[in-house]
Copies of this chain bind each other. A is one copy, B any other.
Amino acid sequence: MARRLVECIPNFSEGRRIEVIDAIAAAIGAVQGAAILDRHSDADHNRSVITFVGTPEAVVEAAFAGLRRASQLIDMEMQQGEHPRIGAADVVPFVPIEGVTMDECIALARTLGERVGRELQIPVYLYEAAATRPERQNLANVRLGEYEGLKVAILNDPDREPDFGPSQLGKAGAVAVGARALLIAFNVYLTTDDIEIAKKIALAVRQSGGGLAYVKALGLLVKGRAQVSMNLTDYTQTPIHQAVELIRREAARYGVAVHHSELVGLIPQAALVDAARWYLQLDEFSPDQILETRLEDAFRQETD
Contact = CB atoms under 8 A, between A and B. Distances in A.
A131 interface: no
Given A272-B272, A272-B276, A266 B294 contact: yes
Given A35-B302, A262-B285, A275-B280, A267 B241 contact: no
A58 to B, nearest CB: 11
Nearest to A292: B269
Nearest to A32: B302
A286 to B, nearest CB: 9
A152 interface: no
Interface string A244-279: 100000000000001111110111110011011101
A295 interface: yes
B260 A38 contact: no
Interface residues of A, number: 46
B265 A289 contact: yes
A298 B283 CA distance: 33
Number of copies: 2
A281 interface: yes
A35 B290 contact: no
A117 to B, nearest CB: 30
Contact of A289 (B35, B266, B291, B299): B266
A269 B241 contact: no
Contacts of A295: 5, 37, 53, 97
- Which interface residue of A182, A272, A301 has the most chain B CB atoms within 10 A? A272
Contacts of A35: 298-299, 301-302
A36 interface: yes
A293 B279 CA distance: 23
A282 B261 contact: yes
Interface of A: 5, 35-38, 53, 97, 182, 188, 240-241, 244, 258-263, 265-269, 272-273, 275-277, 279-285, 289-295, 298-299, 301-302
Given A35-B299, A269-B290, 16 more contacts: A35-B298, A35-B301, A36-B298, A53-B298, A97-B295, A244-B280, A260-B281, A260-B282, A261-B280, A262-B282, A266-B290, A266-B294, A269-B291, A272-B273, A272-B276, A276-B276
